[in-house]
Amino acid sequence: AWEMGIALYGLDAYLDVLIGLDDVPAPKPAPDPVWTALAVLGLNPDPQRVAYVGDAVSDMACAQAAVVA
């Protein structure tokens, strides 16, 4: 699973929350993954404070739908 890959390369030390397909009712490009992560972190969708980084068009659509930068 992707969690094992993240741990294998030590990236888990840099991440406060990981959201996968099983954690949300609708995957990206819906905003649900971002909103779920923000809820876990106790944050609101604020483009001045929250940035979403991705490598696909669906990532950009997810960030826009979630109203984050």
- pTM (2 d.p.): 0.84
Does the N-terminal peptide bond of residue 29 adopt cis geometry, omega within 30 degrees of 0? Answer: yes
Report pLDDT for 3: 80
DSSP E strand stretches across the chain: none
pLDDT along the chain (69 residues), means of 10: 86 90 95 97 94 93 95
Distance from the Cα of residue 50 to its chain's centroid: 10
First to last CA, the chain: 28
Q: If we measure between CA atoms, which residue out of 22, 56, 50 comes closest to residue 38?
A: 50
Output the CA torsion sign for 63, 64, 65, 69. Answer: positive
